[in-house]
Structure 1
């Protein structure tokens, strides 16, 4: 019995379309079509994933006869009908929508708690409370990074395993996501305004509590905006497929078993991003050089550098070089996207 016959029989056993199997394997539907037409053969890692999906041995899959095999008890089948999420895309994106905003909020709340202690001890005092302030801030940063970094690594792994996902969301799904985002956006701004109100009301009488409540409500508002924004963004599967080039290396794209047109589009996007990154990197290097010159040139030119006061000279404006460099990078990126489509 041939591999093609086994693969077709196993798909039929699970009620699985070529598109659904392709999503599970991280390849294009055309790749599965070619396998079943015996015009190409899957690589070893794809064969092993097929064995995991269909719960069979490699030897049986390649050289055995699985066409008459009875479905295993509890075998996962794919319901017939419209496209479904067979690779865990929605679950993955929901996980990201919880961990990333929670990590950001943890960092802000850590700073808020630290400001509460600093305010209680007097701002600028050099005692044990300053050390406690630093410890609390670092604890908040570590807590945030403990959520954000693993989430980012999990996302990179997911994109490598699934560089293309078939859009399975319905218009009702998108409408619910838009409605949730509208509510989350309003709630987020309400929290931010509440924080500003606490700062204005309590700043004169309890500065420490004012800063704590301000940052605490900012953290809540940020969490709402980022969380519901990511939940809305997850429904744009087409953008996920386009942005796969930003996550994958050129070697990963070249070796991916996806349609030639999709592969060319991903490669063009990746090369476009590398060129733009090189240009912006050069701009920021020039900005750094300009900033250093603005800082040290007046000092070196002063008759008495020890008594030099930067007020009224270019030394006090050296930091402007980086914001201007960032603005130039933004302008270049916009113009590149608008007029560099042929790159």
Structure 2
């Protein structure tokens, strides 16, 4: 009986479907709640990213309208905390889902996949368009009016706000597109559960070190040297993590 239950978990079906051999019918629906989970995941990650970048945008906007810099820093950290927590929760919940459901029976229809592709194009175009609009505002800083007592940092904040929204749209669109590629999902899980292939643990350790160093640089630059663009260490750290992952995967 235990073996049968394990097979049910593996194929995301119920015991009746497994014993009667009607797995095709059982798998026709979303028994694992895959669609709901991926929709949630594709929202919480972009929102977390947008909140973090938006916190920096808020700091610049407050600075641009003459608010004391210390209050702007406080506002930034008030945004940083929930943004980071959302990313942690989203990552941990997604990891748990992957472990619990190593195989998903494809259930999306061709029409659903085509609709998803159309939405993907819209999300990507929207994200790029919003960022370009922010760049246009930043370029026109010299000719745009400023509020009494304000300065050009206001439009730097507007640009960062557009980046926050644009990046969130791009990430959401990318995660939604990946949702429909269930064969790729299954293949990735089979590499770890069936073939015994595991990720190189060195990747996680190095990425952890990189992001800790980035955090130290950020704190030091922000409070010791008052470097206004200290936030750039985080995307740079993410890029370095991607480089490390690619390099070590090729060596396996």
TM-score scaled by length of structure 1: 0.53
Alpha carbons 2:54, 2:164 under 8 Å: kept: yes
C-alpha distance after superposition, 1:277-335 (max 9, x if no partner)? 38x949x99xx9xxxxxxxxxxxxxxxxxxxxxxxxxxxxxxxxx99987974663464
Alpha carbons 2:11, 2:105 under 8 Å: kept: no
Deviation at 1:146, TM superposition (A): 3.3
The yes-or-no answer on 1:224 pairing with 2:206 is: no
Alpha carbons 1:184, 1:228 under 8 Å: kept: yes
Deviation at 1:173, TM superposition (A): 1.7
Deviation at 1:210, TM superposition (A): 0.8
Change (3 A) 1:276 1:115: same
Give the structure 2 partner of residue 27 of structure 1: 10
Alpha carbons 2:55, 2:79 under 8 Å: kept: yes
Q: Equivalents in 2 of 1:145, 1:327: separation in Å? A: 19
Q: Equivalents in 2 of 1:156, 1:327: separation in Å? A: 18
The yes-or-no answer on 1:332 pairing with 2:243 is: no
Give the structure 2 partner of residue 234 of structure 1: 179
Of 46, 49, 55, the residue aligned with 1:104 is 49
Give the structure 2 partner of residue 211 of structure 1: 156
Segments of 5+ residues of structure 2 without an aligned counterpart are 145-150, 214-236
Give the structure 1 partner of residue 117 of structure 2: 178
Deviation at 1:81, TM superposition (A): 7.9
Give the structure 2 partner of residue 15 of structure 1: none
Segments of 5+ residues of structure 1 without an aligned counterpart are 5-17, 38-77, 122-127, 247-252, 254-262, 289-321
Give the structure 2 partner of residue 156 of structure 1: 95
Of 113, 131, 134, the residue aligned with 1:195 is 134
Larger Rg, first or second structure (1 or 2): 1
TM-score scaled by length of structure 2: 0.70
Deviation at 1:80, TM superposition (A): 4.8
Of 77, 80, 84, the residue aligned with 1:138 is 77
